[in-house]
Amino acid sequence: MTSKVENLAAKIAALGEHKQQALWGRVAELNFRRGLSALSEQYRERLRQQGQLDRSVEEILADLKQIREEIAAHDYPG
């Protein structure tokens, strides 16, 4: 590991348990947001490639709802 990573790890290890938990919670939140942002960008790019980027949010959400319902009907019949 690089010395920068080692120093950071030592600082984290020196924190109390409560502060470490708060830090890991914040790291998880940031990673989640980063993942959502990446997913959003991928979906936006897909819509752009399909020539559908100008569609309204309502239209897109209606399509997604229909897809979810079709999947649910297929995976959980009856």
The 10s digit of each residue's pLDDT in 41-51 is 999 999 999 99
pLDDT, tens only, 1-56: 689 999 999 999 999 999 999 999 999 999 999 999 999 999 999 999 999 999 99
The more confidently predicted of residues 4 and 78 is: 4
Q: How far apart are CA 15 and CA 23, in angstroms?
A: 10
Q: Is the pTM of this model over 0.85?
A: no
Report pLDDT for 78. Answer: 76
For the chain, give the secondary structure using H, E and C: CCHHHHHHHHHHHHCCHHHHHHHHHHHHHHHHHHHHHHHHHHHHHHHHHCCCCCCCHHHHHHHHHHHHHHHHHHHCCC
